[in-house]
Structure formats: C-alpha cells, structure tokens
Amino acid sequence: MPQPEKYLSVSDYLAAEEQSSVKQEYHNGLLVDMAGGSIDHNRIAGNMYFELRSRLQDSCTVFNSDQKVYLDAVNHFVYPDVSVVCGELVSQNQAILNPVLIVEVLSEGTSAYDRGAKFRKYRTLPAFQEYLLIDQDQPVVDALFRESKDYWRMQTIIGLDREVPVHSLGIRIPMQAIYRGLDSLMEPQIPFDL
C-alpha cells in the first residue's frame, strides 16, 4: 500500500534545507528532489551565467542554480538554472522574489515542465519579464518576452551563427558563447521536438 505523502510547512522546509546536502524544491508542502544536471547542461548554465555577468557588470545581479526563487502566489520555492535581478533585490527566507530574467536549460526529463507548468508559475512574479529556454542537445533557444501584463511574445533562435536578444536587459548573447565547449551538439532538427 502506498504511503501517504508528507506535507511540510515552509518553516520546516527551510530548516531542513539548511541541514540537507540534497537540493529540493518546495511545492506547496511537498518536497521535490532536484536531479543533477549533465555535463552539457552545467556547461551551458555556466556559460549563460558568465555571459550575463560579464555584460551586466554591476547594473544587475546574476544568480546561478544555487539561488532559490520564491513564488508566493503558488507557495513554491524553485531553483532556476540562472536568474537576474535588476535594481533593488527583494528577498524572503534567502529566496529572491523579483527576478527580471529566468533561464532554464532543457533536458528530455524537464522540457515539458519548464515550458508549461513552471512557466505559468514563474509568470505570477510581478517583476518577471523574460524567459530563456535553452536546448542542451541542439543550438536552439526559445526567448519569451513579456509585451504587456497578459501578453508574451516568443522568438526561436536557431543556429550557432545567431545571437539571442535579451530584451529585458538590452543585450545580445551570441549562440556560440552559450554553447561554448560543447562538442556533441546535433544539427537543429526542423521541425524540432517541442
């Protein structure tokens, strides 16, 4: 017989997280284990962190995947691959509340969640303006940008010879820089698997 799921309060989660060697997200009382990323996943996330940090200097704060974000509207603590806060940092329980940009590196296991439910949850953040979804197997980036309160525009960038416009920050990042150090990239598959 399956065991009933154990629900934790936010304070219990935060206390347990301080002692844990395993990173877990908090989804309204339930703990969700974070899978370790592949070498390519971590390399892409590291490249994005570096490119954003070097372009933004001190105008914004760039965070890696160790920084959690709190989604108050759905009572979730999540760990994006990269996040950026511009202006005053707003935080609660060591989690940021006001990222402008969030970057996720897609894997076969997380792609549907990152594109769907996770994006809908991120959209509850008032400061959130842009979402970059980076395919780890082929040079394809989906850039979603908030045009207005309820309207998002998407641009798909395909190929290593292109640049990714980051509208919320007024910068462009070459695809070559995002995929630097990856030797096993596939040619973009058109139509590629969404």
Q: Given this model, what pLDDT does residue 5 score?
A: 60
DSSP state of 72: G
Query: Token match 């989604």: residue?
Result: 71
Closest residue by Cα to residue 77 from 16, 137, 148, 141: 16
- Over residues 106-143, the pLDDT tens digits come to 988 889 999 999 999 999 999 999 999 999 999 999 99
Q: State yes or no: cis peptide before 2, omega within 30 of 0.
A: no
Using the predicted structure, report yes or no on whether residue 183 has a pLDDT greater than 90.
Answer: no
Res. 154: pLDDT tops 50: yes
